[in-house]
Structure 1
Amino acid sequence: MNTPSPTQLPAGANPLDQLADIHLPPAVPNFPWALGWWVVIILCLCLIAAAYWLWRHYRRRSAYRRAAQLELAALKAIDNDAEFARQLNQLLRRVAIHCQQSKPAAPALAGLSGEQWQTFIYYGCGAKPAFTEANLDALFAAAYQAHAAPLDRQQLLKQAQQWIARHRSHYV
């Protein structure tokens, strides 16, 4: 029996029919990843967890500020200037006392009055005070005097909102 040699093809045969198919390499597996990728994933998860913890910590520590802002919005409904001034002064004092509770060596704010309290409020935001001296004088005059000049409520509310947002008790 005669078998045709690879160089000899039967008549009418296509030489391309003798070519073998391309052998593809095996598919690249998804797992196991290299150690470096696992380290990157773990670091990313740790960063996300730390950012979440810091956000929660900040939210918890500044909850009193959000509550004070809500109370400040409720003060807009008070019609009497003297009552408005007393309520605003009381709100600022409560915010300051709450902030000082975590600092045992800090001076007692509950006992501050008059010029000392006004100085604390004025310098409570550091180098850039939230209140102007004229508005603070008008606020305390309306709170403690029977007949005082009318208050600029919008300006006082705006400045009190800034003070609540920015105050730091360690400035005084």
Structure 2
Amino acid sequence: MIHGGGALHLPPLPGISQGLGGVTSPALLVPPRPRAVPTRIRIPSIQVDAPVTGLGLDSAGRLQAPPDSRRDLTGWYRDGVTPGQRGTAIVAGHVDTHEGPAVFYRLGTLRKGDQVEITGADGGTGFFVVDAAEVYPKDDFPDEKVYGPARDSQLRLITCGGGFTSSNGYDANVVVFAHLVRSLS
């Protein structure tokens, strides 16, 4: 995105070594958390500590983004499972806005083994470990791979990435794959 009058600063992207490599589900199964609307996400390795709001789908059936006016806000797909429930939970955030870097600007720097914490309205917290970070072209996005059902408690973190033009915006999405490893009530 263009910041401060014209300088182009692309956000960092994950390296090839951070890809799934054919592994789509962890061997360790942890009991799922009960349904609890997420209220906060913390990702210590990239200094994220942000509120979470509910998101729906737009008229084309795509996940809405959080409001541009809140660079610090992430959004959870409210018609899906909550983070920590059995299935695939989705949390999205902006990589940047016209004002500068946003909450998920450094999402592409996450590495296998990094931790993501999501607190729910019930006061409990789910702890997730990153399995992979990948980049997918928006015009060839693997919906089933990213959004498909899971037997265990999976989390996907999504933001924009790749190349950028002022006429079309970003041409790709950064997707982080993570799984639940423990929870606190």
TM-score, normalised on structure 1? 0.24
- TM (normalized to structure 2)? 0.23
Computing the radius of gyration over CA atoms, which structure comes out larger, 1 or 2? Answer: 1
Which is richer in helix? 1
